[in-house]
Amino acid sequence: MEKGNLIRIEKKLGDEDLILETGKVARKSDGAVWVQYGETIVLVTAVISSAVEEEGGFIPLIVDYRERAYAAGKIPGGFFKREGAPSSEEILSCRLIDRSVRPLFPKGFRNKVQIIVTVLSASESNWPPILSIMGAYLALSISNFSSIEPIAGVRIGRIDGRFIINPSDKELSESELNLAIVGNKEGLVMMEGEACKVEDNVIAGAFQQAHSSIQELIEIEEEFISAVGKEKKEFPLYEIDVEMKKKVVAFACDRVKAIEKNWSKEEKNAHMEKIKEETLEEFLTEYPDEENDILDILNEFKKERMRELIIKEGKRWDLRGSDEIRSVSCEVGMLPRAHGSGLFTRGETQALVAVALGTRSDEQRIDGLHKEEIFKSFMFHYNFPPYSTGEVRFLRGPARREVGHGLLAEKAIVSILPDSSSFPYTVRLVSDILASNGSSSMASVCGGTLALMDAGVPISEPVAGVGIGLIKEEDKTVILTDIQGMEDYLGDMDFKICGTREAVTALQLDMKVSGVSIEVLEEALSRAKKARVFILDQMEAVIKEPRPRLSSHAPRITILSIPADKIGELIGPGGKVIKGITKETGAGIDIDDAEGKVTISGSDEEGVRRAVDIAKSIIRGPEVGRIYSGRVKRVTDFGAFVEIAPGKEGLVHVSQLSDKFVKKVSDVVKVGDEIKVKLTGIDELGRLNLSGKGISK
């Protein structure tokens, strides 16, 4: 439907209506699309600046994804009560959109572009980031930017052997698969997600199902773009002077080829640095303002040479075969105070991963567009310090890449963790990348598995990860196993695949070209499985299974069931009882009255044991014939009053204090003594009768 400059189309998609609209809001942007599916609405805008980024390299694209709390009818938490810095979920959504649209821009495009996604309404049925990918493509397509090939994305789950496109939050809670997949007409361009140990052939089936659904969305997009029909503008693409390029390549050719020796990354970098200096010295006099272009020519030639070696000669930059994995070494238990640690080294990439175990109070509270508060008991954080690549730069907070890599590793490992009922710990893994030459996130997954086993966390089985690359020239395609940094930067694909020996647990795909066929991805899955088995063999040679006991520095946790009518008794008036137990034992006590559970935790094993005994005595109530360890509260001429549980006192008559004759009570016990007594009876008034006779001291 068109009304003035308003363009709107509405299509039935599944059980709900998909609405695409432009021309009504955000009219100052170059392209603005209102995308609504059911009750979820995102506004996506694109602005293409006339400003040109002078330096080459990455496309000057900025993507921001922001959720408004009112989208879920909520008021933000915290002191300021307004949205602050983007959350991890928002950062991950930014990355999903950026990685989907970046390959759409032609080489040499240097105008600054900003895409902003604002989540205006969010339901539990439809996931805003998937709509945002469609909106980002459409906002660019209806702007004055030149025509680009269509892309669309879906989220796919699987329940009871059946694939579900764009599952609801409820369906995802039952799903063994959660993948965000973006594709074009020919193949797939991006994916991110996790799987609950799903076989490779099922993953391949998900690719097929997703690509089929993507075609339906692309048809709707093309209809919308045709209805808008906005005039396009020619943006000049930056081109390097042809004559200068010929001269620089001729000068540097033999020097670059010399790197083909089996040197380390540092040696190759040093050699390239020397080539840069010599080349600049040679040409800056003739081309004084073209330093960046000269360096770009060198990088491009290095890329072409590397690709030529692989395609024509079957040689990789480090002389490995296409399916050969770099040397692997593993070590555990290096950090005595961490609860577990693992050092994983593959080639020149090295990750040190440590695990810390905490209690329920250490869980992370997620304040997002959720109906209820979400608490995370497993976290994986990734750090990429500048020294890992031999660089100098300021240390700041985690960048988007660091957040994204941590979340990928988290997805890879979460499915092998024990459930909270059998292992009631909060688990935090931290990966510090000590050296990097490609696939540091996959090294983090391997190091994380080693650290968990070193900590004694009862994982179901170990997990490993590997990066699979691709070089594609015309009709020739070469798949590369375990890509290093240069092959990632200069290649066409980075496909990270994590899993056990038999199944996949997490995936991430990024393409540098327009897309990749599902057949190539299936071959990549097969390569990755073979590589995982090899890596897992190396890991299990160092530590085969989780240690039988937790670290002595880890907290001890015990969970007890408690009837609803005993909760008040355990808490006591004004919290007197529970506070008393905590003060006496040093243990922390947390009561979940909804689930009827009491969690007792602490770093002192004896203190936790004592708190558990006290709590059990309250939960069970006094049991005739049971022996208790109690504390003397009062001493009288006729006996001693002993507290066997908080608020539960009984009398040990003088005649029952000992197997021997007792003349005076104070000769045997005094206030504060801890003694063992047996509950011999409870009278009609509920008074407890205790005895110290016949009990071994």
Give the integer Cα–Cα distance in Å for 518 and 395: 40
CB 130 within 8 A of CB 54: no
CB-based contacts of 561, cutoff 8 Å, min separation 6 = 596, 597, 598, 619
Extract the tokens encoding 459. Answer: 């994982």
Written as one string, the DSSP assignment of 167-203 is: --HHHHHH-SEEEEEEE-SSSEEEEEEEEEEE-HHHH
CA nearest to 341, candidates 490, 559, 542, 165: 542
Give the integer Cα–Cα distance in Å for 567 and 604: 24
pLDDT in tens, 428-464: 999 999 999 989 999 999 999 999 999 999 999 999 9
Q: Are strands 476-481 and 493-499 parallel, antiparallel or unpaired?
A: unpaired
Tell me the pTM: 0.87
Please give the share of the chain, as a percent, with pLDDT higher than 70.
98
- Class of residue 159 by CB neighbours under 10 A (exposed 0-12, middle 13-18, buried 19+): middle
Residue 651 has a pLDDT of 93
Task: Provide the residue type at 138 as one letter.
Answer: L
Q: Where are the alpha helices (DSSP H) in 513-657?
A: 518-540, 564-571, 576-585, 605-620
CA nearest to 608, candidates 594, 626, 590: 590
Instruction: List the single range of 246-255, 283-292, 313-322, 349-358 with lowest mean pLDDT.
Output: 313-322
Helix (H/G/I), strand (E/B), else coil: 55: coil
CATH 3.60.15.10 assigned to domain 328-540? The reply is no
Give the integer Cα–Cα distance in Å for 181 and 188: 7
Task: Provide the residue type at 674 as one letter.
Answer: E
Extract the tokens encoding 548. Answer: 């039988």
Give the integer Cα–Cα distance in Å for 506 and 495: 11
Residue 1 has a pLDDT of 36
pLDDT in tens, 643-665: 888 878 899 998 999 888 888 99
pLDDT greater than 60 at residue 622: yes
CB 255 within 8 A of CB 275: yes
How far is residue 379 CA from its own chain's centroid? 7
CB-based contacts of 3, cutoff 8 Å, min separation 6 = none
pLDDT greater than 50 at residue 411: yes
pLDDT in tens, 214-242: 999 999 999 999 999 878 888 888 888 89
CB 63 within 8 A of CB 47: no
Please identify which residue in the block is written with the tokens 């203190």: 607
pLDDT band at residue 127 under the 50/70/90 scheme: very high
Per CATH, which fold does 242-313 belong to?
Answer: Arc Repressor Mutant, subunit A (1.10.10)
Extract the tokens encoding 683. Answer: 């009278």
CA distances 599 to 256, 519, 569, 610, Å, are: 63, 50, 16, 14
Residue 319 has a pLDDT of 79
CB 459 within 8 A of CB 417: yes
CB 582 within 8 A of CB 574: no
Please identify which residue in the block is written with the tokens 């070209």: 513
Instruction: List the single range of 80-94, 113-127, 255-269 with lowest mean pLDDT.
Output: 255-269
- What is the sign, positive or negative, of the torsion defined by CA atoms of 611, 616, 622, 626? negative
pLDDT band at residue 262 under the 50/70/90 scheme: low
pLDDT greater than 50 at residue 373: yes
**Domain spanning 2-228, CATH architecture:** 2-Layer Sandwich (3.30)
Residue 452 has a pLDDT of 98
Give the integer Cα–Cα distance in Å for 401 and 542: 30
pLDDT greater than 50 at residue 13: yes
- Class of residue 365 by CB neighbours under 10 A (exposed 0-12, middle 13-18, buried 19+): exposed
Residue 486 has a pLDDT of 85
Give the integer Cα–Cα distance in Å for 553 and 358: 11
Which residues of the chain does CATH 1.10.10 include?
Answer: 242-313
pLDDT greater than 60 at residue 2: no
Which residues of the chain does CATH 2.40.50.140 include?
Answer: 622-697
pLDDT greater than 90 at residue 3: no
Cα distance from N-terminal residue to C-terminal residue, the chain:
90
Q: Are strands 504-511 and 188-198 parallel, antiparallel or unpaired?
A: antiparallel
HEC letters along 621-670: CCCCCCEEEEEEEEEECCEEEEEEECCEEEEEEHHHCCCCCCCCHHHCCC
The average confidence (pLDDT) of the chain is 91
Give the integer Cα–Cα distance in Å for 47 and 28: 9
pLDDT in tens, 542-586: 999 999 999 989 999 988 988 888 888 888 888 888 998 899 899
Cα radius of gyration (the chain): 32
CA nearest to 522, candidates 509, 505, 536: 509
Extract the tokens encoding 697. Answer: 């001291």
pLDDT band at residue 254 under the 50/70/90 scheme: confident
Residue 104 has a pLDDT of 92
CA nearest to 221, candidates 39, 1, 9, 42: 9
Half-sphere exposure of 586 (CA within 13 A, CB side): 10
For domain 622-697, give the CATH superfamily.
Answer: Nucleic acid-binding proteins (2.40.50.140)
- What is the sign, positive or negative, of the torsion defined by CA atoms of 253, 255, 259, 265? negative
CB-based contacts of 267, cutoff 8 Å, min separation 6 = none
Per CATH, which fold does 555-620 belong to?
Answer: Ribosomal Protein S8; Chain: A, domain 1 (3.30.1370)
CA nearest to 153, candidates 136, 176, 173: 136
Region of residue 57 (phi > 0: left; psi between -120 and 50: alpha; otherwise: beta): left
- Class of residue 677 by CB neighbours under 10 A (exposed 0-12, middle 13-18, buried 19+): buried
CB-based contacts of 390, cutoff 8 Å, min separation 6 = 266, 269
Residue 147 has a pLDDT of 81
Give the integer Cα–Cα distance in Å for 668 and 674: 12
Extract the tokens encoding 378. Answer: 């497993």
Extract the tokens encoding 347. Answer: 């080639």
pLDDT greater than 60 at residue 354: yes
Give the integer Cα–Cα distance in Å for 138 and 121: 19
Task: Provide the residue type at 358 as one letter.
Answer: G
Please identify which residue in the block is written with the tokens 């795909």: 509
Residue 545 has a pLDDT of 96
Which residues of the chain does CATH 3.30.230.70 include?
Answer: 2-228, 328-540
Residue 265 has a pLDDT of 64
CA nearest to 104, candidates 57, 144, 136: 136
pLDDT band at residue 96 under the 50/70/90 scheme: very high
CB-based contacts of 552, cutoff 8 Å, min separation 6 = none
Give the integer Cα–Cα distance in Å for 652 and 638: 9
CB-based contacts of 555, cutoff 8 Å, min separation 6 = 357, 358, 359, 425, 601, 602, 603
CA nearest to 325, candidates 533, 30, 177, 23: 533
- Mean pLDDT, to the nearest integer, of 236-251? 89
